[in-house]
Structure 1
Amino acid sequence: MDDDRSVLVLTNTYDVTADVVLRLLAERHVPVVRLDPGADLHAGASLTATYRADDQRGTLRTASRELDTARIRSVWVRRPSPYEGPPGLNGQDRRFAADQTLWGAGGILASLLGAHYVNHPWNNRAAEFKPAQLSTARRCGFLVPDTVITNDPDEAREFAVRRPGKVVYKPLWNTPYRVDDQPHSVWVREVREAEITDAVSVCPHMFQAKVDKVFDVRVTAVGARLFGVRIDSPDLDWRHRQNRMRCTPVDVPESAARAVVAYLAELRLIYGAFDFAVTTAGDWYFLECNANGQWAWQPAETTAAIAHAIADQLEKGPDI
């Protein structure tokens, strides 16, 4: 491996989670270039790609670096800003510039020859669809709660009636939402049949049998290395009030570990943040996998271990 090949980190300026890994790479003397393409390419940075019959080349220029894109060993797709166009433009001109940046720069950065992606942005996007997650989880051997995704109110009500326990509603995507002009999150919550109205017909809704859980688990996977944390929270959705939860390391059962590795392989992911609900019988029910989930909120020893595992992936580059 050429020691001067750079790691490209695609993330926003305020991503402190990325900083944890960048410090490790600096200690290892691995060259790193940080880029937020949705913002930096409208603020002085430039990206060029040239395609010929016998050659493909590219150059990335930032305020401090000029990088031959053929010299990129790894790309960490962390939390780049959305492609929204230059702030100095308005209306359709800004939308046009945003789309051209997404399909141009985004396409270049997703097509770097010989680079190792953690994760590839197209694989990230494909893995974000909850129906695909549930389908993949079943095939890989996870226990999955009974689930229906429908825009038919009668189907939704029938699902709720036929479940012996309670039913929860989960949004299919974390859409930004405001109430009285204040940011508002849609959390997982219990629903009764009487609460399911004809408004379900507006768009698909996801209803799921509530798991009679004792605690939650987050398993952060970096390749074949798994890091489990038990989450004890008074809330159905532990994300709601994270100051009320308690996290402790937990071992991942062999059956769940095998399914995690199979899941990553099927969706072509290097990294994944898996959420489980664990019952009194010790059954681990798959809830979801965030292909780009946050991880630095976990206990210090777990956070440090995950950071080292990600740094290892980025440092090693592609398998030759």
Structure 2
Amino acid sequence: MTHRRRRPVLVLTNPCDVTADVVLRILAHRRATVVRLDPGTDLHTGASLTASFRTGDQRGTLRTRSRTLDLTEVGAVWVRRASPYEGPVDLDGQERRFAASQTVWGAGGILASLPGAHYVNHPWANRAAEHKPAQLSAAQRFGFAVPDTLITNDPQEARDFVARRPTGAVYKPVWNTPYSVDGEPRAVWVREVGSQEITDAVRACPHMFQARVPKAFDVRVTAVGDRLFGVRIDSPDLDWRRRQDLMTCTPIAVPEPVARSVVRYLGHFRLVFGAFDFAVTSDGGWSFLECNPNGQWAWQPPGTTDGIAHALADELLRGPDA
């Protein structure tokens, strides 16, 4: 593949991101200039970020322990899994919260505003696409089959909805909020729910209930631009993420109507990358469940993982957006 320009690639992620490492090895093989930054921590441990704005001119510099980067030269930004902006560890209370907030709006704003850089994905596009109601609205608009879904904080509405689902219903959180019990982190998995289980505690916040799809298997479709990588997932669990050691994954072709809807969905949210989850019934129907705009993908079969990694490397070396 011929690349028009070999401008530097800026990768925003934490130092333990082994998924990013897969792509960085490919970029190194292609002799690309890559700068890796974890802004939530590095800017408090020696890195510095500067931006200046004048009429008709914008400039910026990133200095890390090993590199100095002219931000006007950045060709692409890969927004991966950066650490949260929590402020310097040597500050306490209000001062640390103030520093963390200023970093979000200052450094985060600079890194999201590099002129012409090609973002995979832009952080603001990621944020817009993470809202489950927005996902479902876009999915039904662009031709996906969507299970009957209710998001409510009204207990009676929830009970009535669940009771009317002939194939049963499931509960899933609208956001993967960190949760712990006795100090131990716990995941909130998708699970079946009966109307008798729904209490007035639902009033505390919106809850998401969905008709249970009588699926034969799950599918993950990883999209990088218009390149789609489908994997069939067979698992004994309703939520295959719960025990990934028990699931099996095999490549699967993506039906053309689904592929068209994926591309339209990505365009709507201005995404380059998306990890789509589907439930597939025995008669071949694909039901949209969600799209993670920054989902993990290196757990898939080696051939699929390699294809995704090379597709991402191609995107990052594509050059600045027009």
TM-score by length of 2: 0.98
Residues 201-212 of structure 1 correspond to what in structure 2 (within 5 A)? 201-212=203-214
Q: Which residue of 2 aligns with 1:96?
A: 98
Q: Residues 3 and 30 of structure 1 are in contact (CA less than 8 Å); yes or no, is this contact kept in structure 2?
A: no
SS at match of 2:299: coil
Match of residue 152 from structure 2 = 150
Q: Distance in 1 between matches of 2:321 and 2:291?
A: 25
Kindly report which structure 2 residues correspond to 1:62-211, keeping only aligned pairs within 5 A, or say none: 62-211=64-213
Q: Which residue of 2 aligns with 1:7?
A: 9
Checking the alignment, whether the CA contact within 8 Å between 2:116 and 2:321 is kept in structure 1 is: no
Unmatched 5+ stretches in structure 1: none
Unaligned runs of 5+ in 2: none
The residue type equivalent to 1:191 in the other structure is V
Per the alignment, residue 283 of structure 2 pairs with: 281
In the aligned structure 1, how far is the partner of 2:40 from the partner of 2:229?
32
Deviation at 1:162, TM superposition (A): 1.3
Q: Residue 318 of structure 2 corresponds to which residue in structure 1?
A: 316
The answer to whether the 8 Å contact 1:142/1:259 transfers is yes
**Local SS of the residue matching 1:316:** coil
In 2: Cα distance, 1:161 partner to 1:3 partner: 58
Q: Given residue 31 of structure 1, which amino acid in structure 2 is its aligned partner?
A: T
Distance across 1 between alignment mates of 2:302 and 2:86: 35
How many pairs are equivalent? 320
| 1:164 partner letter | P
From 294, 297, 315, the counterpart of 1:295: 297
Runs of 4+ in 1 over 4 A off after TM superposition: 1-4
- Counterparts of 2:6 and 2:292, CA distance in 1: 32
Q: Deviations over 1:283-312 (max 9, x none)?
A: 000000000000000000000000000000
Query: 2:231 is matched with which residue?
Result: 229
| C-alpha RMSD of the superposition | 0.9
Name the CA distance, whole Å, in 2 between partners of 1:4 and 1:214.
Answer: 45
Aligned counterparts of 1:274 and 1:248: Cα–Cα separation in 2:
16
Letter in 2 for 1:171: P
Matching residue's letter, 2:171: Y
1:213 is matched by which residue type in structure 2? K
**2:267 partner amino acid:** A
Q: Deviations over 1:207-264 (max 9, x none)?
A: 0000000000000000000000000000000000000000000000001000000000
Report the Cα offset of residue 319 of structure 1.
4.3
Q: How many Å apart are 1:163 and its aligned residue?
A: 1.2
CA distance in 1, matches of 2:67, 2:178: 35
Equivalents in 2 of 1:235, 1:191: separation in Å?
15
TM-superposition CA deviations, 1:49-107 (whole Å, max 9, x none) = 00001210000000010010000000000000010000111100000000000000000
Percent identity reads 71
Q: Deviations over 1:25-67 (max 9, x none)?
A: 0110110000000000000000000000121000000001001
Q: How does the TM-score come out when normalised to structure 1?
A: 0.99
Task: Tell me, yes or no, if structure 1 residue 60 matches structure 2 residue 36.
Answer: no
Aligned position for 1:305: 307
The answer (yes or no) to whether the contact 1:15–1:79 under 8 Å persists in 2 is yes
Please state how far the C-alpha of 1:318 moved relative to its aligned partner: 2.5
Mapped partners of 2:85, 2:283: distance in 1: 46
